[in-house]
Structure 1
Amino acid sequence: MPSRPDRRLPSDRLLTVLTCPLCPSGLAPADGALRCADRHSFDIARHGYVSLLTGRRRAASADSADMVRSRAAFLRAGHYDPLARALAGLAAELAPPDATVLDAGSGTGHYLATVLDALPGAMGLGLDSSAPALRAAARAHARGEAVGWDVWQPWPVRTGCADLVLNVFAPRNGPEFHRVLGPHGALLVVTPTDRHLGELRPSLGLLAVDPRKEERLSRTLAAHFRPAHTEPLEYAMSLTPEDVTGLVTMSPAAHHVCPAELRRRVGELPAPVRVTASFVVSVYRPKGR
């Protein structure tokens, strides 16, 4: 996938989507920053992303640099490529080639970049609160942009601007998903099933996935969306000990076991490690459209 250079100004198309988080105004480049008519100013990082998080709006938690490095390495190794291909295939069916795609909790931008490859004229915007993740996302694709934001808050984007919203293992803000989608827009959500990484949980102390996760997802979105399509995806992965360590380190499970103990536990696993990847990919359409 094509990468984009560092320190590039946000595209004109992005500026038609973004709004100032402190007032309703649009944003425009000014002296290495983005500024609105009321002179609220937001720096463009040298890595190519813009952070609109300020003061009380700063996210309480975000992925660390170690988590982002581990996630980038694991994804580069191709272990979740079947999921990325499934998202790209659905995106090509759901959105026009020149779509505006928003990725809520985009992380490194890996899945957004794959979707943009499937939509040759699309522009992508990834929202995330982690600076290390934003640095990676800003370089993930030539037509991808990265903006620092807490997706639990009202988003600094225009109402009805998006053709497709992605939500892959990330927080779900139903009201904002609904607000930003256009009349024919779609929401594409990925959640793990209770079988996901099941072989690793007893030995590595990973947190269990709630078996009613899909039911809770539907309840969370029910006020604003109707389910349109559900697609299960399950396959076996063959992982090295290094892959397993990265898989744990890239997730919130890393907070529950110290690095030395994790290495010890992983070292006791038979190599290669056979692990189940199990997801549900769901398509939702906004109600009232």
Structure 2
Amino acid sequence: MGDDLPPRRTDAAVLEVGAGTGYYLATVLDAAPAARGIAVDVSKPAVRRCARAHGRAGAVLADAWRGLPVRDGVLDAVLCVFAPRNAEEVARVLTPDGRFVVVTPTERHLGELIEPLAMVRVDADKQERLAESLGARFELLERTPVEYTMALDHADIRHVVRMGPSAFHGADTRDERIAALPEPYPVTASVTVSVYRPRG
């Protein structure tokens, strides 16, 4: 993701929406040694973790749907990894040559866990809906599939399930279902990284 900073700027100002632990923002900042970052999340515990995620990142408690606490046209990149997207706000805060990097799961993401843990499936039309929701404000520059296999233990599986939309589906029997899985358990990570720029 660090390569998606426009145009290969190492001193970029980067914001991550729905930053969670700040892991992805920290990864981008590591790849761009002079870049500065802002992590935004609606969760107080998440913001506390984000504040410690990287020395060049600040953390802000805010709801992107109510507005990002950033001036117009000052950010070089906005990251959105599995988080809701407010296209109007992102377009407002990006520079004219800024980049909006969106990471979404594919149908194969965590596929080996869906049946045994009664998890929610990823909608087959997710990419088309994403393009439609952003099309008025953003131009798609590239779309890159990323897929690999993870070897997860039971604790990892619990964390993965709790981070997504399946957190409350089948929760009453989840621990027993997880305990029945072999350890380590091979699970597919499958995402699409889409890079957009604001329309002129």
TM-superposed CA distance for 1:257, in Å, is 2.8
Q: 1:215 aligns with which of 99, 111, 128?
A: 128
Q: Percent identity?
A: 50
TM-superposed CA distance for 1:95, in Å, is 4.3
Residue matched to 2:11: 98
Residue matched to 2:65: 152
CA distance in 2, matches of 1:102, 1:249: 24
Report Cα offsets for 1:91-132 as digits up to 9, x if no partner: 4x6441111101111111110011011111111011110001
SS in 2 for 1:146: strand
Contact 2:90–2:100, Cα closer than 8 Å, also in 1: yes
Check if 1:117 corresponds to 2:36. no
Check if 1:244 corresponds to 2:157. yes
Contact 1:240–1:271, Cα closer than 8 Å, also in 2: yes
- Tell which deviates more after alignment, 236-245 or 278-287: 236-245
Q: Greater share of strand residues, 1 or 2? A: 2
CA distance in 2, matches of 1:279, 1:94: 24
In the TM superposition, structure 1's runs of 4+ consecutive aligned residues that sit over 4 Å from their partners are none
Residue matched to 1:70: none
Check if 1:193 corresponds to 2:193. no
CA distance in 2, matches of 1:137, 1:109: 5
CA distance in 2, matches of 1:132, 1:216: 31
Q: 1:139 aligns with which of 43, 52, 61?
A: 52
Name the larger-Rg structure.
1
Structure 1 gaps of 5+ residues are 1-86
SS in 2 for 1:155: coil
Structure 2 gaps of 5+ residues are none
Residue matched to 1:227: 140
Q: Once superposed, what is the RMSD of the aligned Cα atoms?
A: 1.3
Contact 1:94–1:186, Cα closer than 8 Å, also in 2: no
Check if 1:277 corresponds to 2:192. no
SS in 2 for 1:117: helix
Higher relative contact order (CA 8 A, sep 6+): 2
Tell me the TM-score normalised to structure 1 length: 0.67
